[in-house]
Amino acid sequence: MTDGAPRRSVSLAVLTPLMSVIEWPMRRLQRHLGIRRLAWVFLAPNLLLFGLFAFLPVLLNVAYALTGGGNVLLENRPPVGAGNFVQLMDCESYLDPNSCDEDKFWRSVHNTVLFVTLQVGCMIGFALLTALVLNGPIRARGFFRSVFFFPVLLSPVVVALIWKWILQRNGVLNGVLGGAGFETHVWLLDAGWAFFWSVFISVWAHMGFYTLILLAGLQAIPRDVYEAARLDAASPWRTFRRITLPMLMPTMLVVLVLALIKGVQTFDEVYAFTGGGPGSATLLVIQYVYEVGFGGSPRLFGLAAAASVLVAFVLVVLTALQLWATRKNAHG
């Protein structure tokens, strides 16, 4: 990595007055506390933010989940015990959302499970294929890598609108299909197609990120292993099966868990794309939380928090898996 020396001096010129102002009280504190305890002063702002906006919310989330009513202030909320969870979990069969008391929640859970399975599966498949092609003997690798990567930077709303414009009734996709004699559709008003395109745009937008990680993993495989395989006249397929895939496995594991964690939290692009519709065909679980808690009135904060707790539980399991996979990866 390089760094621009002039840029550094410019940012310093902006920072200098601010930092000098802080200098005096910090010097006093240092004399008072000693160097070691000063570490806590450096940590304080960050810990305050973490505490206020990460740890406290976790506790409050549980408190909300155990209370009912439409009031946002906790002291005005009647305790309902496990009532919200019972409402969410009350189902004759978890496989059939219609049999559930809170059928919308289960529909969103079903959608999310299907969405994550398809999205993560397709995304890792295509990311792997792309990484393999990019790792091959090709020209202009840097250019092609950026081509696959750049949608990662687009905002979810922009991604949704770009594709909505392509897929709209008089859009270019219908134009091309109609021109070639195929059937045209009002894509986003058809439940099946809306779901398909939601998965599609999500893969389109995030694939480049995983390609980048897998490509780094591929480039870390020592060249001489391939050299040995070539001397043994191993076929490309065999080389891939016996060398590339096993050696890429640790990276694949990290990528898989990371993709699952992000997949479960999908909200932005699908919400802006279909709004969860038609009906609730593309309603995902975070959107359920948003709609129950903030979308309409009354605001059912308790139910939203209870659903969040369930999602958080899944995420904690996945994150523990991620840390385990990363550690395993780092230690070979």
Partner 1 sequence: MAEGGNGVTGWLTRTRGRGRLHWTDWFSYGYLAFGVLLMFGPVVWLLLSSFKTDSELQRFPPRLLPHAQETVTLEGHAKPLPLFEVTAGELAGETVAQVRRIGLSSQVVRLDDPGERIELSLDERTAVEAPALATANYTGLFERFDFLRYLWNSTFITVVATLIMLLVNSMAAFALSKYEFRGRATVLALVIGTLMIPQSVVLVPLFLITRELGLLDTLWGVIIPGAATPTGVFLLRQYMLSIPDEILDAARMDNASEWKIYWRIILPLSAPAIAVLAILAIMWRWNDFLWPLIALSRSENFTLQLALNSFQGEMQTEWSSLLAMTVLTLAPIALVFVFLQKYIATGIASTGGK
Say which DSSP state 292 is in: I
The verdict on 155 binding partner 1 (CB under 8 A) reads: yes
Cβ contact 126:120 at 8 Å: no
Stretch of 79-87, 93-101, 106-114, 159-167 contacting partner 1, by CB under 8 A? 159-167
**At closest approach, how far in Å is the CB of 129 from partner 1?**
7
Contacts of 44 (CB under 8 A, 6+ apart): none
Answer for which of 10, 82, 86, 147 binds partner 1 (CB under 8 A) is 147
User: Considering the rule CB under 8 A, would residue 263 count as an interface residue with partner 1?
Assistant: no
DSSP states of 206-267 as a string?
Answer: HHHHHHHHHHHHHHTS-HHHHHHHHHTT--HHHHIIIIIHHHHHHHHHHHHHHHHHHHHT--
Say if residue 49 is exposed, middle or buried (CB neighbours under 10 Å; 0-12, 13-18, 19+).
exposed
Total chain residues near partner 1 (CB under 8 A) = 113
Task: Note the Cα 166 to chain centre separation in Å.
Answer: 24
Nearest CB to partner 1, comparing residues 162 and 247: 162
Is 190 a binder of partner 1 (CB under 8 A)? Answer: no
Residue 226 interacts with partner 1 (CB under 8 A): yes or no: no
Q: What angle do CA 329, 135, 115 make, to 5 degrees?
A: 65
82-111 positions binding partner 1, by CB under 8 A: none
245 touches partner 1 by CB under 8 A? no
User: Which of 64, 85, 105, 288 forms a contact with partner 1 (CB under 8 A)?
Assistant: 64
Window of 27-35, 78-86, 95-103, 105-113 that interacts with partner 1 by CB under 8 A: 27-35
Q: Which stretch binds partner 1 (CB under 8 A): 15-23, 81-89, 102-110, 111-119?
A: 15-23
| Smallest distance from partner 1 to CB 128, Å | 12
CB 272 within 8 A of CB 198: no
Q: Can you tell me which residue has the tokens 């978890």?
A: 94
